[in-house]
């Protein structure tokens, strides 16, 4: 039981003055909140480290990813030169994991970016325009949103053919609906806010209103969804790769590595374990970041 310390008012403070809007930086305000949010910081740290690993992969990796050496197949972790052991073909698991981060983040990033653009466009159109267009688009959004993600992705890959491009297109085509739903809701709420009405009364057109008022005010929720979408995209990519429909050999993907380790899991646990940990960590990182961002950006948290 500690009594809160009594903070005395600053004797210099102008207690009789009204607020005068002294310098305030929203950007700094965001950083302070972000730094004060545990979940956001942990998530951000995980994502940052994995991004650095992906970018610096050629310098971090110890062996070329495709380098096979049957003399050292299925070496356990902590073997000289192979910190996380080797697979059936004697390839270094650590190096393949490092390059695998590239694949997962690239696919996740591209999918998220593309679906974000589609989602924002559709959501803005539906929400801002309203009326019949909104009725049509929101039915479309709900239809796509209702699809089971992984099944649709599988179906599309079956049509387009296996490979990373196919996986990205398949994921992107279904995942944008999540963005569109949120953006549409936010835009409808914004459209009825009085400051948008005021901008119209001042003679500003739709383009100005969307660029100046709508987009800046939906960045927060969009960032949150983007973070969660990254997590989902990574899971879909690794799932497809696990099934052999994503990254094709010799490209190392955490999903395909997991699959390769499956058959020898009792003899060589490390083949499947490390990619599994990597996937879980990355997904956790993005989920924590998204959670944290949601708290940090929530306008109700503003004092």
Partner 1 sequence: MADPVLDVRDLHVALHTRRGVIHAVDHVSLHIDPGETLALVGESGCGKTMTALSVIGLVPKPPGVIEGGQVLLGGDDLVPKSDEEMRRLRGDRMAMVFQEPMTSLDPVFTIGAQLMETLLAHRAISRADAHAQSVAMLKRVQIPEAERRMDNYPHELSGGMRQRVMIAIALLCRPDLLIADEPTTALDVTTQAQILELLRELRGEFGMALLLITHALGVVAEMADRVAVMYAGRVVETAGVEEIFANPRHPYTKGLLASIPDLADGQERLATIPGTVPNLLHKPPGCCFWPRCPIAEARCRAQEPALAELAPGHQAACWKASA
Partner 2 sequence: MTALVELRGLTKHFPLDTVMWGTPKRVVHAVDDVTLDIAAGETLGLVGETGSGKSTLGRTILHLNAPTAGVVRYRGEDVGGLDRAAMQRFRSRAQIVFQDPYSSFDPRMTIQDIIAEGMVHGAHRTRAARAARVRDLLRTVGLGHVYSDGYPHQFSGGQRQRIGIARALAVDPEFVVLDEPVSALDVSVQSQVLNLLASLREQLGLTYLFISHDLSVVRYLCTRVAVMYLGRIVELAETRALYAAPRHPYTSVLLAAVPIADPRRRHRPRQVLQGEVPSPIHPPPGCRFHTRCPKATTICREEVPALAGDATHMVACHHA
Buried b (16+ CB within 10 A) or exposed e, 139-155: eebeebbeeebbebbbe
CA dihedral sign of residues 146, 151, 155, 157: positive
Question: What's the closest the beta carbon of residue 12 comes to partner 2, in angstroms?
Answer: 18
2 is an interface residue for partner 1 by CB under 8 A: no
Nearer to partner 2, 13 or 22 (CB): 22
Question: What's the closest the beta carbon of residue 10 comes to partner 2, in angstroms?
Answer: 17
Q: Please give the residue ranges that form the binding site for partner 2 (CB under 8 A).
A: 18-24, 26, 130-132, 134-136, 138-139, 193-195, 197-204, 212-213, 216-217, 299, 302
The stretch among 3-11, 42-50, 199-207, 258-266 that binds partner 1 (CB under 8 A) is: 3-11
* CA–CA separation, 137 and 139 (whole Å): 5
Total residues interacting with partner 1, rule: CB under 8 A: 10
Nearer to partner 1, 30 or 89 (CB): 30
Give me 26's structure tokens: 């929203």
Q: Which residues contact 256 (CB under 8 A, 6 or more apart)?
A: 241, 242, 244, 246, 247, 249
24 is an interface residue for partner 1 by CB under 8 A: no
Nearer to partner 2, 1 or 22 (CB): 22
**Which of partner 2, partner 1, none has residue 302 at its interface (CB below 5 to 8 Å by kind)?**
partner 2
- List the interface residues with partner 1, window 162-201 (CB under 8 A): none
Bond prior to 250 in cis (omega within 30° of 0): yes
**Which of partner 2, partner 1, none has residue 9 at its interface (CB below 5 to 8 Å by kind)?**
partner 1
Contact 245, 162 (CB under 8 A): yes
Place of tokens 């100046």: 212
Nearer to partner 1, 192 or 303 (CB): 303
How many residues appear in the chain?
A: 303
- Integer distance in angstroms from the first to the last C-alpha of the chain? 26
Contact 33, 301 (CB under 8 A): yes
**Which of partner 2, partner 1, none has residue 299 at its interface (CB below 5 to 8 Å by kind)?**
partner 2
Residue 92 forms beta bridges with which residues? 86
Enumerate binding residues for partner 1 (CB under 8 A). 4, 6-7, 9-10, 13, 15-16, 18, 303
């Amino acid at each position: 039981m500690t009594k809160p310390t009594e903070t005395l008012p600053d004797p210099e403070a102008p207690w009789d003055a009204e607020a005068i809007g002294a310098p305030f930086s929203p950007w700094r305000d965001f950083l302070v909140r972000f730094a004060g949010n545990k979940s956001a910081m942990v998530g951000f740290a995980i994502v940052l480290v994995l991004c650095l690993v992906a970018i610096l992969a050629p310098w971090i990796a110890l062996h070329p990813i495709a380098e096979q050496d049957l003399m050292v197949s299925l070496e356990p972790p902590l073997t000289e030169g192979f910190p996380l052991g080797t697979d059936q073909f004697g390839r270094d698991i650590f190096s393949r994991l490092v390059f695998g981060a590239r694949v997962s983040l690239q696919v996740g990033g591209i999918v998220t970016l593309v679906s974000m653009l589609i989602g924002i466009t559709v959501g803005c159109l539906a929400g801002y325009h309203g009326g019949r267009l909104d009725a049509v688009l929101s039915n479309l959004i709900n239809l796509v949103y209702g699809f089971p993600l992984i099944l649709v992705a599988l179906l599309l890959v079956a049509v387009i053919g296996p490979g990373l491009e196919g996986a990205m297109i398949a994921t992107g085509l279904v995942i944008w609906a999540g963005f569109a739903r949120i953006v549409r809701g936010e835009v409808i709420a914004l459209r009825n806010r009085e400051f948008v009405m005021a901008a119209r009364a001042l003679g500003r057109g739709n383009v100005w209103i969307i660029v100046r008022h709508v987009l800046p005010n939906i960045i927060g929720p969009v960032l949150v969804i983007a973070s969660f979408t990254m997590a989902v995209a990574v899971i879909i990519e690794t799932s497809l790769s696990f099934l052999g429909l994503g990254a094709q050999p010799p490209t190392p993907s955490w999903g395909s590595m997991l699959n390769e380790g499956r058959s020898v899991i009792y003899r060589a646990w490390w083949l499947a374990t490390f990619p599994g940990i990597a996937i879980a960590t990355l997904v956790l990182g993005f989920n924590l970041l998204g959670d944290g961002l949601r708290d940090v950006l929530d306008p109700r948290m503003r004092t």
